[in-house]
Chain A
């Protein structure tokens, strides 16, 4: 969750993905930042609360699931309101929080970022450009339409026929999709594409009822009975609350064979201010918060009525350096900055521990991670040596940061002070997030504090950032060796080989230092003690199928 938060550097922003994801700085930290200017609005008031709590008190009954209590309403705080519930159009990360509890995907990721079955039970590659899924045969959509290969074809074609959909580029390697028989569907690829499975764990792989799609129902704001997931859409008052209710015909079972889900209802409340969010959690107005401000984390850990846990997320935060413009067209200058940053102190002092020191783009929770890749520590003498080696008597530059985020401003001031010790002068300039994105995308900058929310597949953290001409390669970094390794890893379906390729590419890239990595974000669990069965995922998505109120 917080990982997603990460990017909410600039909170007033309607959190579009790019906006949202490319926040600067560090994950939850950002959040601290987010404070009051975040967009949407409301939270549950205590009064309403009282009502819903009463509901969960009385409605709860001890059910079948081996002593697991069933029923009840779970109030969940989200750091911004969802924008749309149509996976075809969604760009806001917060949308996923809701949609992944409503819609099933073909495959899903587990806590190790490995691909696991969901609607598809198995998959295979008859050839490198053919991917065949075997589908569950016992699934019906909420509207009664059976889930089968035709439904998959309808959903995938909906994306392929819609080029302005953000989903289109995620599965652009798919040239066509065909139903082999009701339980087998074949994806034909224009070229082998390793990250495709990971893409299908997210919105591109969400399956909606073909009947709902063709009926022209309002999928964006009232997708009634369109999914097959543990919960179904109930009501949405924008800016106020979004309610999902139990899908009585959900196919999933618990490990002990009990029917899922346990909860009757989930009510999402957009709460854009972290302080407010935490106060609501403390007072049990909400039982789950998707973000806790760094300054409140210590209190959350100490509070006996709350559970707080964090794991490294997939995101990374740091400084983009423009490799084609002075002063950072000099690799020594870039490495000098990389040596001049005290990552641990930033994690401790600015993020209050809500972050993990980062050495590269690949998070410790990824299967492609290698702890051996750790080229830069904090060493001002090495920074000075780099400056000397690069023939630089001094180095000064301007760092762009998103406006409206005290956490980012704080981090930037730390960096400024640390770099000063290494003889590097850094000026800070705040810009609105849209300006910052525009300036960085047009390479009109020297250095920019911009991060990335991360993707389960390492390709998502490497290719578009560090491949020549990549979509997020604001740094204009180019290294043919890195390019060929990334290309090779992309077209391979062999995970071991891919991991080796990514690690080699990462090591080479870090030597060139187009980006100074500072920290990874974290995914957190911040819940009331009575929330049972919750699993923290590196993606930060809060899945409630297995959750009960004890």
Chain B
């Protein structure tokens, strides 16, 4: 177990290095000069050159990368070119927003997926099952930016119970915060609910067909008890993997949602930074996202091993 953990953690190092290097190179391939963009206006070539020098943009690419890496290893992710603040600060400021959106969406998706999945499995091949399946398919198939725009159209513009976008920190106004949350969470959770409930349904069907469940039913245990206590516990294992993967990829999903609903989170920061070539920020966001993805994957594996003794952690891959 310890061996496994150490090996996995060590393996993350080359992967993280590669991720940061690739990001660095891609961003530098984007045409444009951040110094020029930043200075704007009547900036003379000398001023631009001076700023480029100050930002270290005049050094060879590899040198720039090595310098960045050296700083990053000391926990210093550099200074944002466009925001004029440290990258770490820029990310930390926005992280709670993305985390709130992501975590609540995950919780909502699991909270809806489990009962719906169990219901679908229990009413297999009936109209209820059929309806749930159709809804879940639509949920996975509708692009989330389309869903977001449609929600804005119907719930924020035509009738107006919800604001079309924006974000108020929970600490400042809990009620407003929750109201702002509704549409983005629906948008982000829709796909996940669909996926998760189909997983729950499939696992439940599989578990329910097994002998011990039949025995339990035959012994006269109540249906609800059999479903939720005996069957569900075993059906949840595969769900864990999927939720783990979803958690690791929150940022990817948040990009579009945050853009549509104007949430000042890390996803929006990422898009802005790519488009303005603010590479220190892109580096920071991608690195953060990649590390959290890998860590969550590791946690899922560990959790899986803990929950299911049949799985040995010794043999990965």
Q: Smallest CB-CB separation from A81: which chain B residue?
A: B264
Asked if A432 contacts B176 (CB within 8 A), the reply is no
Asked if B93 contacts A276 (CB within 8 A), the reply is no
Task: Point out the residues of chain B lying under 8 angstroms from A443, CB to CB.
Answer: none
Q: Smallest CB-CB separation from B261: which chain A residue?
A: A36
A266 to B93, CA, bound (A): 23
Contact with B along A456-480 (1 / 0, CB 8 A): 0000000010000001000000000
Asked if B32 contacts A16 (CB within 8 A), the reply is no
Asked if A13 contacts B272 (CB within 8 A), the reply is yes
Task: Point out the residues of chain B lying under 8 angstroms from A41, CB to CB.
Answer: 166-167, 262-264, 268
- What distance in Å separates the Cβ of B35 from its nearest Cβ neighbour in chain A? 9
Question: Is the CB of A91 closer than 8 A to any CB of chain B?
Answer: yes
Question: Is the CB of B175 closer than 8 A to any CB of chain A?
Answer: yes
Question: Is the CB of B38 closer than 8 A to any CB of chain A?
Answer: yes
Question: Is the CB of A62 closer than 8 A to any CB of chain B?
Answer: no
Task: Point out the residues of chain A lying under 8 angstroms from B31, CB to CB.
Answer: 431, 434-435, 438-439
Asked if A434 contacts B268 (CB within 8 A), the reply is no
A36 to B185, CA, bound (A): 17
**In-complex Cβ contact of A435 among B30, B156, B173 (8 A):** B30
B159-210 residues with Cβ-Cβ distance < 8 A to A are 160, 163-169, 172-173, 175-177, 179-180
Asked if B176 contacts A271 (CB within 8 A), the reply is no
A13 to B273, CA, bound (A): 8
Task: Point out the residues of chain B lying under 8 angstroms from A45, CB to CB.
Answer: 163, 166-168, 173, 176-177, 179-180
Asked if B47 contacts A471 (CB within 8 A), the reply is no
Q: Smallest CB-CB separation from A10: which chain B residue?
A: B275
- What distance in Å separates the Cβ of A202 from its nearest Cβ neighbour in chain B? 10
Q: Which of A165-173, A250-258, A348-356, A487-495 lies at the binding interface?
A: A165-173
Asked if A276 contacts B262 (CB within 8 A), the reply is yes
Q: Smallest CB-CB separation from A41: which chain B residue?
A: B264
Task: Point out the residues of chain A lying under 8 angstroms from B85, CB to CB.
Answer: 221, 238
Question: Is the CB of B17 closer than 8 A to any CB of chain A?
Answer: no
Task: Point out the residues of chain B lying under 8 angstroms from A36, CB to CB.
Answer: 165, 259-260, 262
Task: Point out the residues of chain B lying under 8 angstroms from A38, CB to CB.
Answer: 262
- Given A12-B272, A17-B41, A164-B47 in contact, is the A272-B173 Cβ separation under 8 Å? no
B4-50 residues with Cβ-Cβ distance < 8 A to A are 30-34, 36-44, 46-47, 50
Task: Point out the residues of chain A lying under 8 angstroms from B147, CB to CB.
Answer: none
Task: Point out the residues of chain B lying under 8 angstroms from A431, CB to CB.
Answer: 31
Asked if B262 contacts A271 (CB within 8 A), the reply is yes
Task: Point out the residues of chain B lying under 8 angstroms from A434, CB to CB.
Answer: 30-34, 37, 275-277
Asked if A89 contacts B84 (CB within 8 A), the reply is yes
A268-323 residues with Cβ-Cβ distance < 8 A to B are 271-273, 275-276, 279-280, 283
Asked if A91 contacts B275 (CB within 8 A), the reply is no
Question: Is the CB of B82 closer than 8 A to any CB of chain A?
Answer: yes
Asked if B33 contacts A432 (CB within 8 A), the reply is no
Asked if A438 contacts B93 (CB within 8 A), the reply is no
Task: Point out the residues of chain B lying under 8 angstroms from A361, CB to CB.
Answer: none
A431 to B33, CA, bound (A): 14
Q: Smallest CB-CB separation from A165: which chain B residue?
A: B47
Question: Is the CB of B291 closer than 8 A to any CB of chain A?
Answer: no
Asked if A166 contacts B43 (CB within 8 A), the reply is yes
Question: Is the CB of B137 closer than 8 A to any CB of chain A?
Answer: no
Question: Is the CB of A220 closer than 8 A to any CB of chain B?
Answer: yes
A1-18 residues with Cβ-Cβ distance < 8 A to B are 10, 12-14, 16-18
Asked if A239 contacts B264 (CB within 8 A), the reply is yes
Asked if A42 contacts B264 (CB within 8 A), the reply is yes
Task: Point out the residues of chain B lying under 8 angstroms from A51, CB to CB.
Answer: 173
- Given A17-B41, A272-B262 in contact, is the A43-B166 Cβ separation under 8 Å? yes
Task: Point out the residues of chain B lying under 8 angstroms from A20, CB to CB.
Answer: 40
**In-complex Cβ contact of B262 among A10, A22, A42 (8 A):** A42
Asked if A37 contacts B259 (CB within 8 A), the reply is yes
A37 to B166, CA, bound (A): 13
Question: Is the CB of A54 closer than 8 A to any CB of chain B?
Answer: no
Q: Smallest CB-CB separation from B278: which chain A residue?
A: A14
- What distance in Å separates the Cβ of B143 from its nearest Cβ neighbour in chain A? 14
- What distance in Å separates the Cβ of B254 from its nearest Cβ neighbour in chain A? 13
- What distance in Å separates the Cβ of A406 from its nearest Cβ neighbour in chain B? 13
**In-complex Cβ contact of B32 among A164, A169, A240, A437 (8 A):** A437
Task: Point out the residues of chain B lying under 8 angstroms from A438, CB to CB.
Answer: 31-33, 36
Question: Is the CB of B83 closer than 8 A to any CB of chain A?
Answer: yes
Contact with B along A133-176 (1 / 0, CB 8 A): 00000000000000000000000000000011010111000000
Q: Smallest CB-CB separation from A18: which chain B residue?
A: B40
**In-complex Cβ contact of A83 among B30, B46, B84 (8 A):** B84
- What distance in Å separates the Cβ of A529 from its nearest Cβ neighbour in chain B? 20
Task: Point out the residues of chain B lying under 8 angstroms from A404, CB to CB.
Answer: 275
Asked if B40 contacts A43 (CB within 8 A), the reply is no
A239 to B265, CA, bound (A): 9
Question: Is the CB of B54 closer than 8 A to any CB of chain A?
Answer: yes
Asked if B84 contacts A84 (CB within 8 A), the reply is yes
Contact with B along A22-40 (1 / 0, CB 8 A): 1000000000000011111
Asked if B164 contacts A279 (CB within 8 A), the reply is yes
A27 to B84, CA, bound (A): 27
Task: Point out the residues of chain B lying under 8 angstroms from A170, CB to CB.
Answer: 41-42
A37 to B234, CA, bound (A): 44
List 14 other contacts, CB 8 Å, given A48-B168, A168-B47, A170-B42. A12-B276, A13-B272, A41-B262, A41-B263, A47-B173, A166-B42, A166-B43, A169-B41, A240-B169, A273-B262, A283-B160, A404-B275, A435-B31, A441-B36
Interface residues, chain B, CB within 8 Å of chain A? 30-34, 36-44, 46-47, 50-51, 54, 82-85, 93-94, 152, 156-157, 160, 163-169, 172-173, 175-177, 179-180, 259-260, 262-264, 268, 271-272, 275-278
Q: Could you list some 29 contacts between A and B, CB below 8 A?
A: A12-B271, A13-B82, A14-B82, A16-B38, A16-B82, A17-B40, A18-B37, A43-B165, A45-B163, A48-B176, A166-B41, A166-B42, A170-B42, A238-B85, A239-B93, A271-B262, A273-B164, A275-B157, A276-B164, A276-B165, A279-B156, A431-B31, A434-B31, A434-B33, A434-B37, A437-B32, A441-B36, A464-B42, A471-B41
